[in-house]
Structure 1
Amino acid sequence: MPTVSTPDLCDEHGDKVRVIEGQFRHYGGKQNFSGQIATIKCFEDNSKVAERVKEAGNGRVLVIDGGASPRRSLLGDNLAKAAVDNGWAGIVIYGYLRDVEEIAPMPIGIMALGSVPRKTEKLGDGRCDVQIEFGGSIIRPGEYLYADLSGIIVSEKAL
């Protein structure tokens, strides 16, 4: 996949792209990634994340609205490895992850607000493929996400 530049895409497409606001950090081995969006909304429970990363990713990006909670990690090395093995292009977490050292070399784009060592509860809570909202933007399943060192943007159509 060719490298994309979020600044160039913003210049070229103007208001047709939405910038996701916030201080997301890169954790995976790929700092430039893109793909069609699949969503999860969950809070301090990564049960749905565990289910989703075991499905065929087909080059998609999993976008997780974890409510920005710093108390529990929504992704660790085992789930990140499952995402790599199943063909996900990337994961963006409006929340926290763990196992930073193990995730760093993995060939996948992973962004989150930060890291915390505590794992989540496993209660089966959460919803998949729903509209979510964070970073000043609404994010819908089926839209397209582009991420690099400059930031994250979302578009209704592939760019």
Structure 2
Amino acid sequence: MSESIQMDRGNFVTCDLLDANPESQVCLPNIEGKSFRQFGAKDKFCGEIVTVKCFEDNSRVKSLLNSDGKDKEGNGKVLVVDGGGSMRCALLGDMIAQSAIDNGWAGVIVYGCVRDVDDMAEMDLGVMALGCIPRKSTRRDEGQTDIEISFGDLTLNSGMFIYADNNGIIASDKPLIS
């Protein structure tokens, strides 16, 4: 049985949330030899999910993070990017990350790579990705938003909730923090 825990959005532990909500989905710590790492200054972040699927083209990532990132309660959402696990180019850099901050997003999880990591490490944004690479993506205006995406034993849809910290990533159909 799922239970909502009284915690601050910036002061939770995924282990405790999962103990109280064992039916939550858990991202595998190693996906085809790759693991998620923290790249933003916020080492824990959570929020309502917005999904995007794109492969080596960050057009949709840029446009989404340049839009309002707040949910109906005024909390920041989390953009979850299925980049197909590509390690050949970055789907998020410092300028787009700054746009996310300016528009109220809580964080970005990229199943792929990011760049400008030294700058991003000082930005008030949660960022998790598989790795970093200096090469930017090519913009071809491709990608899909608000669709079901899957990676690391997670199946995610926009409107679900995600929680990320140094212990890992968990997801739920319902908010786990009240």
TM bracket (short chain): over 0.9
Q: Which residue of the partner structure matches residue 6 of structure 2?
A: none
Q: CA deviation at 1:136?
A: 1.1
Give unmatched runs, 5+ long, in structure 2.
1-8, 71-75
Q: Which residue of the partner structure matches residue 53 of structure 2?
A: 41
- How many residue pairs were aligned? 158
**In structure 2, C-alpha distance between the alignment counterparts of 1:65 and 1:157, rounded to whole Å:** 21
Please state if 1:18 is matched with 2:25. Answer: yes
TM-score for the superposition, normalised by structure 2: 0.87
**In structure 2, C-alpha distance between the alignment counterparts of 1:137 and 1:92, rounded to whole Å:** 12
Q: Hey, which bits of structure 1, 4+ residues long, moved more than 2 A?
A: none
Offset from partner CA, 1:52-82 (integer Å, 9 cap, x none): 0000101100000000001010000000000
Q: Which residue of the partner structure matches residue 134 of structure 1?
A: 151
Asked if 1 retains the 8 angstrom alpha-carbon contact of 2:90 and 2:137, the reply is: yes
Please state if 1:85 is matched with 2:102. Answer: yes
Q: Which amino acid aligns with 2:18?
A: C
Q: CA deviation at 1:4?
A: 1.0
Flag the structure with larger Rg.
2
Pairwise CA RMSD: 0.7
Please state if 1:105 is matched with 2:117. Answer: no
Pick the structure with more strand per residue: 1
Q: CA deviation at 1:2?
A: 4.3
Please state if 1:57 is matched with 2:69. Answer: yes
**In structure 2, C-alpha distance between the alignment counterparts of 1:64 and 1:89, rounded to whole Å:** 14
Please state if 1:118 is matched with 2:132. Answer: no
**In structure 1, C-alpha distance between the alignment counterparts of 2:77 and 2:10, rounded to whole Å:** 15
Pick the structure with more helix per residue: 1
Partner of residue 144 from structure 1, selected from 161, 165, 176: 161
Secondary structure of 2:131's aligned partner: strand
Q: Which residue of the partner structure matches residue 4 of structure 1?
A: 12
| Percent of aligned pairs sharing the same letter | 46
Secondary structure of 1:14's aligned partner: coil
**In structure 2, C-alpha distance between the alignment counterparts of 1:93 and 1:137, rounded to whole Å:** 13
Asked if 1 retains the 8 angstrom alpha-carbon contact of 2:10 and 2:45, the reply is: no
TM-score for the superposition, normalised by structure 1: 0.98
